[in-house]
Chain A
Amino acid sequence: MTEQELITNIETVPETQEYFINMGPQHPSTHGVLRLLLTLDGEIIKKIEPHLGYIHRSIEKMCEKDSYQQIVHLTDRMDYLSCHINNEAVCLCVEKGLQLEVPERVKVIRTIISELTRLSSHQLWWGVMGMDLGAITTFLYGFRDRELITDIFEETCGARLTMNYNVPGGVMFDIHPNFQKRTKDFITYFRKKLPEYDELLTGNVIFTERTKDIGYLSKDDAISFGVTGPSGRASGFACDVRKRFPYSAYDRVQFEEIVYTEGDCFARYKARIAEMWESMKIIEQLIDNIPEGEHKAKTKAVIKLPEGEYYQRVETARGELGVYIVSDNKKSPYRVKFRSPGFSNLSALDTMARGNKIADLVATMSTLDLVIPDIDR
């Protein structure tokens, strides 16, 4: 080959091309069945197109045939890590429609269990996020501590994951005699263990390198996409429903709304760790002050909401959950809509991960804390 031929050969080397990769539906870091269609240029992500619906169970359609008591049981199959809070959202919405004032004891019990649920959800998130980024220890630590909370739930609610503890008007049974003592023991224990989480990951150089300045989401985008929960607050969007529209017993406890402005994966990580401290603070303020009284207000066996529309928002571990009930004065609702936090949070994934490397997508998704049944409903 002459020199001239060689030069032409080099010049005609084909250009790089964009190509597609399917991430999921069975990918370990999606924690469920979610398929992402990635458009890549080398390792750089050009576009993400989420394909949802692999576990769509038409919960909203099923609600149109069920009584209000039955709907509650469907909701903990949405975001199973915040099941108690989902149940609470429906119960609060139904109580709003009935204009039913629940006993003070119920409000406090619900708040304590909600915060325990949030703690256990964040512990699991912390564990699996560490595992996604290559640290097995975090997974074991997270589950070790979460086990204690599920034990408390088992004793009081009778179930460990999908508790179904709320019913319209109150909670299903009164708390177990051991509940207060065990919760206090757990808080004492976890106050010592949470700094361990920091030691393992927060100061870890490998971890910070993989999360700082990765998956940036600006405040304007967070609001526009409706990214709520710790993910939204890490971008500076003060959206905590517990502060903005207090429900149950949140108006009588002191806690900080955690807001960071960096908007990257590390800020989302810090926001959840800080929320765990705040949750413990809330529980400590309430656990010794559970008022005496009934654990359930009296409701009719067949609940009929007056004609109208009711909207209730609560703060789950992932963000703002909205329950929108349209009633036509029958024993089952005319239309129910669940505004799930995961669905809106996922829509921002494309904006967050664009321009990053494909390996960073795992970190971005983990810190978004997606629960797929919550997205698909």
Chain B
Amino acid sequence: MDNENLKNIINSVITDCEFSGDETQFLNVIVKPEDFRKLAEFLRKNSETHMDYLFCLTAVDWITHLFTVYHLTSSINNITVVIKVKITDRENPVVDTVCDLWKTAEFHEREVYDLFGIKFKNHPDLRRILLEDDWVGFPLRKDYKDEVNIVEL
């Protein structure tokens, strides 16, 4: 399956999405938080796509908005897609969890919550994972200030 086919399949599930990225790397698709869960479930369960391996889950802070980035691939065929969920609400960012679809997401979502403050709805155990429980702020956000630990040169 090539990227064109994959585009058509994704378009058949959700219409309101945006494709980007150069063709040499992976196919990128930007979706809204409310559509994300539907697309993820479809890609995981559909026999044609069968994306059972979530090999990277992270987030990027673009100041005006946040992205959670999911790198998905299949263990049987070599198709890869990158789903980006665009969250415009910085104060209270919420995305649906995918840890029932890919178990690796449980730890990775905790890491994203820890460092970016993005909450995952229905996550069974959303706590900080790398930092202490009483840490204030979310360090990988671009507006994070820490006068004690970060030395600006």
A→B interface (CB under 8 Å): 52-53, 56, 58, 60-61, 220-221, 223-226, 237-239, 244, 308-311, 313, 320, 322, 324, 326, 334-335, 337, 339, 343-344, 346-348, 351, 376-377
Contacts and interface: CB of A to CB of B under 8 A. Distances in A.
A179 to B, nearest CB: 34
B52 A223 contact: yes
Contacts of A335: 60-61, 140
B125 to A, nearest CB: 9
Contact of B56 (A58, A337, A346): A337
B91 interface: no
Contacts of A224: 52, 102-104
Contacts of A60: 115, 140
Nearest to A326: B60
Given A224-B102, A335-B60, A335-B61, A311 B25 contact: yes
Interface of B: 21-22, 25-26, 28, 52-56, 58, 60-61, 69, 71, 75, 78, 102-104, 106-108, 111, 115, 129-132, 139-140
A158 B106 CA distance: 41
Contact of B58 (A239, A310, A337, A376): A337
A50 B142 CA distance: 29
B107 A347 contact: yes
Contacts of A221: 103
A43 to B, nearest CB: 25
Contacts of B61: 335
Nearest to A334: B60
> Which of B21, B56, B106, B108: most chain A CB closer than 10 A?
B56
Contact of B21 (A223, A237, A309): A309
A322 B55 contact: yes
A52 B58 CA distance: 18
13 contacts: A53-B129, A58-B139, A220-B52, A311-B25, A311-B26, A313-B55, A324-B58, A339-B58, A339-B71, A344-B107, A348-B103, A351-B103, A376-B130
Contact of B25 (A53, A310, A339, A346): A310
Given A224-B103, A322-B71, A347-B107, A52 B130 contact: yes
A193 B106 CA distance: 42
A226 B55 contact: yes
A347 B106 contact: yes
Across chains A and B, which 4 residue pairs bring their CB atoms closest together, nearest first? A226-B104, A53-B130, A337-B58, A347-B107
Contacts of B60: 326, 334-335
B129 to A, nearest CB: 6
A60 B138 CA distance: 13
Nearest to A238: B75
Contacts of B71: 311, 322, 324, 339
A237 B58 contact: no
A326 B61 CA distance: 11
Contacts of B104: 224-226, 344, 347
Given A53-B130, A308-B25, A309-B21, 11 more contacts: A56-B130, A61-B140, A223-B53, A226-B104, A322-B56, A324-B58, A335-B61, A339-B55, A339-B56, A344-B104, A376-B130
Contacts of B53: 223, 226, 239
Contact of A61 (B54, B107, B139): B139
Contacts of A58: 139
Contacts of A237: 75
Contacts of B139: 58, 61
A224 B75 CA distance: 10
Contacts of B140: 60-61, 335
Contacts of A238: 75
